[in-house]
Amino acid sequence: MTSRHDRPVALITGAGRRVGAAIARTLHAAGYDLALHYRHATEEAHALACELEQQRPHSTLLLQAELAELPALPRLIDQLLAHYGRLDALVNNASAFYPTPLGTVTPAQWNELFASNAQAPFFLCQAAIPALREAHGGIVNLLDIYAERPLAGHTLYCMAKAALSAMTRSLALELGPQVRVNGIAPGAVLWPSDGKPHDDQQALLARTPLQRAGSPEDIAGSVLWLLRDATFVTGQIIRVDGGRTLSV
């Protein structure tokens, strides 16, 4: 292991694009050095690392891994610690999301949705516990309002996110006082990459008190607050949804 790094270090899964990249930029601007995990978003992850390195040299580490492969998870933590010598924050952002209509669900879909949304976050947390305890660090899990209010046709995804929600609260109980564990449940921030009909989008936003979609930066700012500023907050699921859960 290298000598202890001067700046705080955060590992972000699924950091190459979308919300993960926004979290990376926000934490980096706040003084964190980063381990950027990606699976297939190679070009985007390398471009992001290049962008951040131009702002502060030697501040990023790229880590490629398939999170469904359990042996890869402790290796990610080992690689990070060999490079930085510390870990202050773990952000479990990577997530698979797609419909699984009843009657068509396969074991492969079960395995994929639970692997990214519940299994990998748990085993990454477990591998990171010694370093996070030493740093008195924090964990933030990216959840979904559908963990509480299920989305039709997406039972496996909702189940997996509900498991992650329970894990968040349970780990907060087990890891205090050294490590704080919280979650963020976004509302409409980015539509799924396979698109959502425009009329459906507008109907959803019309039921949201703030009458608009959120931005990746809204989520990223909440992650930073939970990691850096909310020093008396643990075991909480913060709804960053424009008030959507008040009316749906």
Q: Is 157 marked active-site?
A: yes
Cα distance between residue 244 and residue 213, in whole Å: 10
Q: Which of 32, 38, 84, 157 is catalytic?
A: 157
Query: Which residues neighbour 155 within 8 Å (Cβ) at sequence distance 6 or greater?
Result: 100, 102, 105
- DSSP string covering 156-218: HHHHHHHHHHHHHHHHHHHHTTT-EEEEEEE-SSS--TT---HHHHHHHHHTSTT-S---HHH
Collapse the DSSP code of 19 into the 3-class scheme (helix H, G, I; strand E, B; otherwise coil) and give the result. Answer: helix
Name the residues annotated as catalytic: 157
